[in-house]
A and B are shown apart, each in its own frame.
Chain A
Amino acid sequence: MTHLIIFLFFGALCLAGAVNLLVQRHPINSALSLVVVMGSLAVEYLLLGAEFVAAVQVIVYAGAVMVLFVFVIMLLNAGEEVRTKGSRVAMLFGIPGMLVGSALVGWVLIERTGSQTVAAGALPGAPRTIGWLLFHNFLLPFEVTSILVLIAIMGAVVLASHPDTDSGKKKS
């Protein structure tokens, strides 16, 4: 019962953050509501027993990635967005289509997965077991990921560096 109450509370918080992200016009408000979404998702992961994923969610997503977002919003001095009017046909067919589609997906999910329940902490996702799997069964993907991150760092430095300073270096 407590499990269900915690799930419903943080699920509602999560959805409120997601809807607020859509409604807000200033990017900084959207970014802060995304932090709320990620924090409440970390609690949902804890309910499912994924301790390591919850910790990484808070550290990497709610911490590092969102700091990067807020930093870029501040750096570019992003103001309120200007909304353009969408076409009427898209509104006419898009909203009923989206409702029908999501109702269909929800029905299939509930019908197919049945009433199978999951207890709090059903699967031990402790850092110890995750780390063991990561360095034994998934060693090659782990190393490939490290190369990917290295390439991403170099790409970010090259893309964000000022073109004038680059050409200045080449000339000298």
Chain B
Amino acid sequence: MVPISYYLVLSGILFACGVTGFLIKRNIISIFMSIELMLNGVNLSFVAFAAQWHALSGQIFVFFVMVVAAAEAAVGLAIIIAVYRTRETLNIDQVDLLKL
């Protein structure tokens, strides 16, 4: 028997790690991976609350979050490829112009 708050604290720490990575990372792919980490933290809290309230809708919602995350990963990585093709860098400090 594990208290439900343990799962929530774990998901909170994962989300905080994702936010920290989003802010301190300078490689555009690493930043994108930090976003995936945040989504995973939120998914864990969804499943924990679903177990607490005995409602399966929480797990259905996790399924939808995963589908949206997969679509986001496909489009985001395509954008990263397009950025690399035009600017030849992955460092976001050098990607600061809206138009070349």
Residues of chain A whose beta carbon lies under 8 Å from any beta carbon of chain B: 3-4, 7, 11, 14-15, 18-19, 21-22, 27, 30-31, 34, 37-38, 41, 44-45, 47-50, 52-53, 56-57, 60-61, 64-65, 68-69, 72-73, 75-76, 78, 81-84, 86, 98, 102, 105-106, 109-110, 113-119, 122-123, 125, 129-130, 133-134, 137-138, 141, 145, 148-149, 151-153, 155-157, 159-160, 162-163
Contact (Cβ within 8 A) B1 A123: no
Q: Which of B16, B33, B84, B90 contacts A34 (CB 8 A)?
A: B33
- Chain A residues within an 8 Å CB radius of B57: 133, 137
How many A-B contacts at CB < 8 Å in the complex? 220
Indicate whether A53 sits within 8 Å of B82 (C-beta atoms), given known contacts A37-B14, A122-B51. no
Q: Are B73 and A68 in contact (CB under 8 A)?
A: yes
* Given A15-B10, A76-B90, A4-B17 contact (CB < 8 Å): no
User: 18 A-B pairs, CB-CB below 8 angstroms?
Assistant: A11-B10, A15-B10, A21-B33, A30-B29, A41-B43, A52-B59, A68-B73, A69-B32, A72-B81, A106-B9, A110-B5, A116-B4, A116-B5, A118-B3, A118-B52, A145-B64, A148-B68, A151-B71
User: Least Cβ distance of A30 to chain B in Å?
Assistant: 5
Contacts of B62 in A (CB 8 A): 50, 53
B75-100: CB near A (< 8 Å → 1, else 0) gives 10111111011000011010000000
CB contacts (< 8 Å) of A78 on chain B: these are 27, 29, 90
Binding site of A, secondary structure by majority: helix, strand, loop or mixed? helix
Task: Decide if A160 touches B82 in the complex (CB within 8 Å).
Answer: yes
Alpha-carbon distance A81/B8, docked complex (angstroms): 32
Is there an interface contact between A4 and B2, defined as CB atoms closer than 8 Å?
yes
Report A126 CB to chain B, min CB distance, Å. Answer: 10
Within 8 Å by CB of A138, from B60, B77, B80, lies: B60
Q: Are B25 and A156 in contact (CB under 8 A)?
A: no
In the complex, residue of chain A having the shortest beta-carbon distance to the beta carbon of B34 = A21
